[in-house]
């Protein structure tokens, strides 16, 4: 089922757009281009995510609560991002912040949305889970829990 057909689709739509993921063969090199072209500033060092086998770097336009750009670089030959880059597409995913990730995932699963992650897991910036593109009009959707959410404690961030 498409997320837009689900009765609790508002669980995503009421979330805040957190970041847009852009696949890149070299996050550091591309970050310099994004900074020069769009006036963005790096707001993180390169972060290695061993579960996704990627290195990521976040950029911001400096606005408070503004949407971030996440540059996502494959960290190994078997990284899903490496295969994605071979398609010549660079738009990788969109990420929404939700107050309680576990509750949101349960609600979406009940409504028939296809989940990649059935439970919150560690991500580069906090607890995350992914929704399958088949349920989101062909777009990979990441959900990240707000810093006040319960998964931050259960996953050992605090």
Per residue in 39-84, pLDDT (tens digit) is 889 999 999 999 889 999 999 988 877 889 999 999 999 998 998 8
In contact, 28 and 35? CB cutoff 8 Å: no
Q: Is 39 exposed, middle or buried (CB count within 10 Å of its CB: 0-12, 13-18, 19+)? A: exposed
Q: What is the pLDDT of residue 111?
A: 86
pLDDT at 95 over 50: yes
| CA 55 to each of CA 10, 40, 61, 121, 142: distance values in angstroms, whole numbers, following the listed order | 31, 19, 21, 17, 16
| Average pLDDT of the residues of the chain | 87
Q: How far apart are CA 131 and CA 110, in angstroms?
A: 13
Bridge partners of 60, per DSSP, are 41
pTM, entire model: 0.78
pLDDT confidence of 36, banded at 50, 70, 90?
Answer: confident
């Amino acid at each position: 089922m498409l997320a837009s057909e689900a009765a609790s689709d508002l669980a995503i739509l009421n979330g805040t757009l957190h970041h847009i993921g852009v696949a890149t063969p070299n996050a550091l090199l591309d970050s310099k281009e994004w900074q020069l072209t769009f006036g963005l500033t790096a707001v993180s060092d390169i972060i290695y995510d061993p579960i996704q086998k990627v290195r990521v770097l976040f950029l911001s336009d400096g606005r408070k609560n503004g949407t971030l750009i996440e540059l996502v670089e494959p960290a190994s030959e078997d990284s899903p991002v490496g295969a994605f880059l071979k398609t010549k597409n660079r738009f990788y995913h969109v990420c929404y912040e939700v107050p309680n990730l576990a509750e949101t995932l349960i609600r979406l699963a009940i409504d028939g949305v296809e989940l990649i992650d059935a439970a919150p897991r560690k991500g580069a910036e906090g607890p995350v889970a992914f929704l399958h593109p088949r349920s989101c009009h062909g777009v990979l959707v990441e959900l990240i829990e707000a810093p006040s959410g319960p998964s931050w404690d259960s996953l050992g961030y605090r």
